[in-house]
Amino acid sequence: MKKLLIISLVCLLCQMSAKAQCREYIEAIAESELDPYVLDGNFESPIVSEGDAVEFYRTFMAGLNYKIDVCGMDMFFKEITISEVEKKDGGKRVVRNVLFKNFGKNTEDQIVTTSDGTSLPLNGLNFYEFTPDHTMELLIKVKIVPFDGGGGLKLEGCLGILVGFSN
């Protein structure tokens, strides 16, 4: 019994250490990923595996320029969907409209121009820049697409979801 307790405690400490290392890694690269935007101080840094999906809600204020950047897990394609949501009676959130999606039909042909004038293909793009005309709540969802050549191994790694802003 005592041995089982010690093994459980060691496993828990290793998991906490991995989460802390992931957060430190994402925090270290945040400035270069968001440049010229400034990190708003809050970010997500979960440890994920192939096939996992992460989603969270954030409020964005009207008139500010924002950049949502998804980094880490570079060996995998990340399906990113950013949707505006609204609360209905009873507090349930409902998707009102999809603002950004980097996969699916027609993304290969679409070109996006970033704030610095760079033109990039939408398919596979890992960030979204926008300026809301009204305060809105967004649902940010990221799915890690499984790697075909993994040989049966399920790989995991650190994912960062950063939000930067500028005036």
CATH number of the CATH domain containing 120: 2.60.120.380
**Non-local CB neighbours of 151 within 8 Å, separated by 6+ positions:** none
- Separation of alpha carbons 53 and 50, rounded Å: 9
What pLDDT is recorded for position 5? 46
Q: How far is CA 32 from the centre of its chain?
A: 16
| Host domain of residue 64 | 2-166
Is the separation of the CB atoms in 73 and 144 below 8 Å?
Answer: yes
Tokens of 26: 């994402």
What pLDDT is recorded for position 18? 54
Length of the chain: 167
Angle at alpha carbon of residue 142, lines to 95 and 155, rounded to 5°: 155
What pLDDT is recorded for position 16? 43
What pLDDT is recorded for position 164? 95
What pLDDT is recorded for position 166? 92
Q: Number of structural domains, the chain?
A: 1
What pLDDT is recorded for position 154? 77
Which residues of the chain, if any, have pLDDT below 70?
1-19, 105-109, 115, 147-152
What pLDDT is recorded for position 13? 38
What pLDDT is recorded for position 74? 77
